Amino acid sequence: MPSLSVEDVKLCSKIIKDVITPLGGLLFAKGKVLLPRDMDILQAFLIQQVEVEGNDAETKAGEPAKATAKTTSVKANAVVKDKSSTPLHDEYDKMLALIKNSYRSVTAVTLPIFELRSQLEALIGHIKDYHVLKFVPRMLNEQDYNYHNAVLSALTSYKIAQWCNYPQKDWMQAAFAGLLHDIGNAKVDPMLLHKADRLNSEEKEEVRRHTTYGYQFLRNVTAINEGVRLAALQHHEKIDGSGYPLRLEGSQIHIYAKIVAVADIYHAMTRERAYKKAESPYIVLEQILKESFGKLDPIIVQTFIQKTTELYTGTQIRLSDGRTGEIIFTDRANPTRPMVQVEGKIVNLALERELNIKEII
């Protein structure tokens, strides 16, 4: 029969011809019955048409209404944080949709690595417009935390590799490491990942297994190097051997894992989650600095903090007490505590320790 537009295909239709991605990979094989999640995957891969069995396939009663209700619910709970329509935001949203569907389907189908690479390259093409402390995605909701963390960690890991003067060939691989470092969470019970209460010891152990699950998912994926796989396994290792899952030390930890560890901690702590409020990026930087004494790579941490706090004079900020002002001077010895002008007065945050910069406006 003729191909149907994806928008016209009904749920539970059977595909009668392999669905191929724009880059030639097999997305769905002939005979596949389309479920609600599959429709999202088709859209994420920009598939326009598919061939299905018959043109009057019956949809299960109530499913379209449920799908619509779910979509409406997610949109209602989403927090619009930024209405910018920049190319960076556009490519970010495409990357977010693709990584979301990749995480959801990785247990059943091969990871679409070439599509991920293509979209990641399109996103990195606008890296000059990305500032770690200032960039805010257009829409955020708690259910999508892991996917935002993946895309943001990819951007930040690329920046860190660049700032640390690693060979250019490592920059994109570091970004891949950031993008895929938590893919093992696809095998972890979502109830644990979004649980508002403290996890018990058994639950903690299950969540920690996402590192080994991630390595297993990536072990046979081509077009990424071993460092990307090891970043999934090692990004919770600590230099002093106190991390997991293998309690590795210092040079035993791959450099991509050390980079991703910093990016992951920063974005995890500055994003709203079911069980914690978002923290001030400047407070998070100070906590990361403390972790550089035995836990995180000190050179990566120092470079990250120095570069992210290189804000121009006049940058508008909001303090922890609610007042707004602007940065007038940053002492490189205290990069997280610049001098700010507030209500006509100069406030030296290095001296007034009870205050901190809550956000950049």
- DSSP SS3 for 202: helix
Question: Is residue 74 over pLDDT 50?
Answer: no
Question: Is residue 63 over pLDDT 70?
Answer: no
Mean pLDDT of 181-206: 90
Exposure string for 45-73, b = 16+ CB within 10 A, e = fewer: bebeebbbeeeebeeeeeeeeeeeeeeee
Least confident of 53-57, 182-186, 187-191, 325-329: 53-57
CA angle 79, 84, 86 (to 5 degrees): 135
Residue 219 structure tokens: 């072990």
Mean pLDDT of 243-262: 97
Least confident of 37-41, 312-316, 318-322: 37-41
The fraction of the chain above a pLDDT of 90, given in percent, is 58
Q: Residue 294 contacts by C-beta under 8 Å, 6 or more apart in sequence?
A: 238, 239, 240
Question: Is residue 256 over pLDDT 70?
Answer: yes
Q: Residue 72 contacts by C-beta under 8 Å, 6 or more apart in sequence?
A: none
Place of tokens 């003729």: 2
Question: Is residue 29 over pLDDT 60?
Answer: yes
Band the pLDDT of 275: cuts 50, 70, 90. Answer: low
Least confident of 78-92, 144-158, 187-201, 277-291: 78-92
Tell whether the torsion through CA atoms of 122, 126, 131 and 136 is positive or negative.
negative
Mean pLDDT of 296-320: 92
Q: Of 9, 360, 75, which is closest to residue 336 (Cα–Cα)?
A: 360
pLDDT at 23 (0 to 100) = 62
Can you name the residues that pair with 360 across neighbouring β-strands? 317
Residue 18 structure tokens: 């392999």
Mean pLDDT of 168-192: 95
Helix 298-308 / helix 145-163 crossing angle, nearest 10 deg: 100
> What is the C-alpha separation between 300 and 311, in angstroms, rounded?
19
Mean pLDDT, the chain, integer: 85
Q: Of 354, 349, 277, 351, which is closest to residue 321 (Cα–Cα)?
A: 354
pLDDT at 84 (0 to 100) = 59
Mean pLDDT of 92-121: 91
